[in-house]
Structure 1
Amino acid sequence: MSSLLRGGTAVRNKASKLLRGGTVLVHGERDHVSPQLADILIEGDRISKIDASIPVPAGCHVIDCTDKVISPGFVDTHRHIWQSPLKGFFGDTALFPYLAIVIAAGMELKAEDMFWANLAGSLESIDAGTTTTLDHAHMNWSKDHSPSAIAGTISSGIRSIFGYTPVSIVASTKPKIEFSPEPLPSWIMAIFEQLATSQPLNDSGSRVQLGFGFDFYHLPKDVVLGVFQKVKSLGTRIITSHFIQNFVKDSERLPSLLKSYDLLQKGIVLSHGGGANSEDVKLLSDANCFISATPNTELAMAVGPPVCFRKDLPGIDRVCSLGVDCHSATSSSMVNEMRMALQTARGIESEAHIQSGIWPREVTHTTSHAFNLGTIQGARALRMEHDIGSIEVGKKADLVIFDALSPAMIGVAQRDPVMAIVLHSTIRDVNTVLVDGEVRKENGKLRPVKGTEWNENSGFSETDQDIHWQEVADRILAMQKRLVSKTPRPLLLQIEDHVREVFGHKPSTSKI
């Protein structure tokens, strides 16, 4: 048995929920966050009332939030959700070796693996308090990989924009590595159109939406323009691309290229911004486009320093959001990214203080600034600020409930709950997570989810299958075991050298 999906969830009536007696983090003017002791009433998938004391409606499910902090769900604007099977490969890896492993994974991971990979990555996100992701899905190795991955994402219960992405596909490994000579085979756009017109992705209210990822700017201008025109004609509101200057050696700066093509428009999200300058930031700001900074992986893979809060990039705070990027290489915690962004910027500024011998009385950037990068700024980047990113009547009930009495949070949560989250919390402190009004994590444990399947004729539908985390974990470990056995070091080095050559770089054995 299966049921039609609408809005990304099975058609059913949701019981109202009352979050009682929590410290609610409410955004006000100029994004100032004020803690308020209040109740929150959720009806369906939206917040219907916030008040000091709300009577319990008949049939309402009450969640006791005494000694809890209620935060907006975190918004991750750059993630490769499929990479759960690659965890453990990248902790000490620079950018090009990372790319080699990703490409090698594409030679081994099957379409059916993508269901479990995206389900795992999405559940790990929810566990950490992330309720929305922009998934730069660069695992589109066949016509079946993306539908399978989307089914996994829908099953998880997360809110997501699935950035369907054309990728380079290995055509042969002997006598040497060769990519397919056709970067955009006909099935790429055909499958995208099929997905865009299928249930529930064709529903503007769907919890999972279809976006587009694109990094093939080496193609002729008319081809790039044709791709953008096609995806926009199918209702795509978000297009994302990687932006690391000189990744392709001597290439034009991506914001300038997009501007010259008349493509730098609202809905463009560029990840990283490594090597960005003040002119790049101005172009993005003028077009109301955003950068997604991912401080942990940028620092680890030599594509930093992160752009957040940089004095040499005037206006960057207005166009900056945060992402985790590769949870295969770092924690899935958006709090971790807030913390790293804030402290890295403070560290860069401290060098000037030391050199001048002038010690400031106050820091330039605060924990509230970092908190906003992972909440309301992420919502703006994804053009969803009217629905998510802050706690407000009428907005989606995407909420994270923290334990204010945990060993990590005690004391600071009572004085400054935003500071408690940004500087003191861990994933352990995420007690409960709601997405679209549904409880997805409760009392520190992920809830089981319903499976989703894809049918070319009818779209996505919910099955009767209950999936628990243990089954997901077993599948991921089995995939990882296969990958380890099928990706010997000589093959990875061969792929890395070929990728370096393609992007105009010499083979290198140097360390960071």
Structure 2
Amino acid sequence: MNSNPSHTLLKGGTLLLHEEHGRVIPRKADLLIRDDRIARIDDDIQPPAASKIIDCAGHLISPGFIDTHRHLWQTQQKGLHCDQILLDYYHSGNLASSHYEPNDAFCGVLGSCMEAIDAGTTTVVDHAHVNYSFNHKMDNFKKLAKEQPFGPNGRVRLGFAMDTMFVQAKVLRDAFIEAREHGAQLLTSHLTKLSMMDNMPSAVTTLHDNGLLGSDTLLSHANNITKEELLWIEVAGAHLSSTPMSELQMGHGHPICLEADFLPLSSIGTDSNSINTSSIPVQANTALQITRARQMAKNITDGTWDGSIGPRAEDAFNLGTVLGARAIGLGDEIGSLTVGKKADIVIFQGQSPTMVLASDRDPVAAIILHSSVRDVQTVIVDGIIRKENGSLCPIVVPTDVTQHAETSSSRNEVLEWKDVANLLSDSRLRLEAVKSEIYEEDAARNGLIRSFLEAMAGNLS
């Protein structure tokens, strides 16, 4: 609930502070929050009157994590995709949006946001493809553009997500130009290159050829792009988002975010909580170890020896903090514990069975290689405590939202996590009932394969 005092003092913890070039310097100090901003960092801060004081002795204080690619609406599909590749996900997951009603979307997004907060994520880029049609999407986008930004302190900002696959060049150009004219702060698209699409132009090629790449462009995945395509991205000032766990499962290829040529342009996301964990540290750890393994495997294949480990834990940590902020154009607002920036902060338990000793020796390694969601003690978003003492705080659903969602309707409603879990369960049961009446799995999969083959044939001709 939003009853935070104007000042919150984090007392006696180990702060993970960034230097100019991304080096992380642990420092035992106090941090003072005033409203939604970091007001002061010092060795011993005396609390202003009526401050909330959080004892952080033995704890690690990190910037909040930034998830730069996520489909928030898909919570109701959790557990569905464990043994599926991308082709299966397209029809069982992506196209399931056709069964969604507004209340289902509300529940899915709410559940996903709370799960992200539970894991220490404070900023999410929502690639929202729960849409009925292109025209419906654009009409709604224009309406929202006039009303942005949303929430206290402009907490929700408008972006634009559109994929290039199967889209005519003129439609794509018009949509991107219109999105920019209406104030979209970030434009994002999947950059997925699979063998089944090998003869189709990639998203980066399509955007480059149509003059649409820019510093406001975020491309997701990018596992198999060419050196020429990477150069286009660099010259345009665009950025990449890697989602390691889903990419490894779904057949995209190896995550590229920690490879030397890609790291400066990269960030990290979770893709969907229906597929894998919402923990950015776990995603970053996955990318770290698979990149190291690939380097070692190349040495074995080449019969060479390289004494270096490859990317460092600090590189992985930065993907979810300073690099993530830079990728979405918010480097001056979030991503590091800096006076004047947003108070988006995660406090890790430093003395749990998983974190003990590691948190003293190397706090960054403790978070990336040892931590779990259990170790996330407190999460502060925009100066508001959203998780405290290891538990999610209740949330307030405003009246204008409850009128569109099947909660209470006529008043602001306070929801605890158990209430949200019940809403999600009811929504999932409704969606499964609808799906069972109209959906045949094999027919959907075969139809999707046929449409891909037809599109590829059309492109070749």
TM-score, normalising length: structure 1: 0.83
- Unmatched segments (≥5 aa) in structure 1: 1-8, 142-182, 456-460, 507-512
In structure 1, the partner of 2:459 is none
More helix by share: 2
Change (3 A) 1:277 1:427: same
Any residues of structure 2 matched to 1:280-319 within 5 Å, and which?
280-310=229-259, 315-319=261-265
Of residues 320, 334, 341 in structure 2, which corresponds to 1:395? 341
| 1:253-284 per-position Cα deviation (integer Å, ceiling 9, x unaligned) | 22122112111001111111132122221111
1:184 aligns with 2:134: yes
1:492 aligns with 2:448: no
1:266 aligns with 2:215: yes
2: distance between equivalents of 1:230 and 1:463? 36
Please say if residues 295 and 304 of structure 1, whose CA atoms lie closer than 8 Å, have aligned partners that are also in contact: no
Which moves more between the two structures, 29-38 or 95-104? Answer: 95-104
Please say if residues 323 and 335 of structure 2, whose CA atoms lie closer than 8 Å, have aligned partners that are also in contact: yes
In structure 2, the partner of 1:234 is 182
Structure 2 residue identity aligned to 1:393: V
Any residues of structure 2 matched to 1:198-277 within 5 Å, and which?
198=147, 200-201=149-150, 205-246=153-194, 248-277=197-226
Please say if residues 148 and 157 of structure 2, whose CA atoms lie closer than 8 Å, have aligned partners that are also in contact: no
1:466 aligns with 2:414: yes
In structure 1, the partner of 2:79 is 88
In structure 2, the partner of 1:385 is 331
In structure 2, the partner of 1:97 is 88
Change (3 A) 1:16 1:140: same
Any residues of structure 2 matched to 1:21-36 within 5 Å, and which?
21-36=12-27
Structure 2 residue identity aligned to 1:437: G
2: distance between equivalents of 1:52 and 1:466? 38
| 1:375-402 per-position Cα deviation (integer Å, ceiling 9, x unaligned) | 1111011100101011100000000000
In structure 2, the partner of 1:423 is 369
1:343 CA drift (Å): 0.3
1:482 CA drift (Å): 3.0
Of residues 383, 386, 408 in structure 2, which corresponds to 1:437? 383
Alignment partner of 1:362: what SS?
Answer: coil
1:55 aligns with 2:1: no
1: distance between equivalents of 2:152 and 2:107? 26
Any residues of structure 2 matched to 1:41-52 within 5 Å, and which?
41-52=32-43
Please say if residues 452 and 462 of structure 1, whose CA atoms lie closer than 8 Å, have aligned partners that are also in contact: no
Any residues of structure 2 matched to 1:51-200 within 5 Å, and which?
51-141=42-132, 184-185=134-135, 187-198=136-147, 200=149
Alignment partner of 2:84: what SS?
Answer: coil
Alignment partner of 1:50: what SS?
Answer: strand
In structure 2, the partner of 1:477 is 425
Structure 1 residue identity aligned to 2:84: T
Please say if residues 217 and 224 of structure 1, whose CA atoms lie closer than 8 Å, have aligned partners that are also in contact: no
Structure 2 residue identity aligned to 1:83: Q
1: distance between equivalents of 2:90 and 2:257? 25
Point out 4+ residue stretches in structure 1 off by more than 6 angstroms.
none
TM-score, normalising length: structure 2: 0.92
1:204 CA drift (Å): 10
2: distance between equivalents of 1:15 and 1:80? 33
Please say if residues 40 and 49 of structure 1, whose CA atoms lie closer than 8 Å, have aligned partners that are also in contact: yes
2: distance between equivalents of 1:425 and 1:432? 14
Please say if residues 397 and 434 of structure 1, whose CA atoms lie closer than 8 Å, have aligned partners that are also in contact: yes
2: distance between equivalents of 1:45 and 1:403? 23
2: distance between equivalents of 1:269 and 1:452? 31
| 1:283-302 per-position Cα deviation (integer Å, ceiling 9, x unaligned) | 11111111110010000011
Structure 2 residue identity aligned to 1:75: I
Please say if residues 295 and 337 of structure 1, whose CA atoms lie closer than 8 Å, have aligned partners that are also in contact: yes
Structure 1 residue identity aligned to 2:156: V
1:218 CA drift (Å): 2.9
Please say if residues 258 and 316 of structure 2, whose CA atoms lie closer than 8 Å, have aligned partners that are also in contact: no
| 1:405-449 per-position Cα deviation (integer Å, ceiling 9, x unaligned) | 000000111000000000000000000000000000000000000
2: distance between equivalents of 1:386 and 1:462? 39
1:308 CA drift (Å): 2.1
2: distance between equivalents of 1:491 and 1:274? 32
- Unmatched segments (≥5 aa) in structure 2: 402-408, 456-461
- Taking only the aligned residue pairs, the percentage that are identical comes to 37
In structure 1, the partner of 2:452 is 503
Please say if residues 104 and 492 of structure 1, whose CA atoms lie closer than 8 Å, have aligned partners that are also in contact: no
Change (3 A) 1:356 1:249: closer
2: distance between equivalents of 1:505 and 1:424? 47
Which moves more between the two structures, 223-232 or 404-413? Answer: 223-232
1:490 CA drift (Å): 6.5
Which moves more between the two structures, 63-72 or 301-310? Answer: 301-310
Structure 2 residue identity aligned to 1:439: I
2: distance between equivalents of 1:84 and 1:485? 17
Structure 1 residue identity aligned to 2:428: Q
Question: How many residues align structurally?
Answer: 449
Of residues 392, 395, 403 in structure 2, which corresponds to 1:446? 392
Please say if residues 378 and 386 of structure 2, whose CA atoms lie closer than 8 Å, have aligned partners that are also in contact: yes
1: distance between equivalents of 2:356 and 2:423? 37
1: distance between equivalents of 2:113 and 2:68? 13
1: distance between equivalents of 2:181 and 2:301? 54
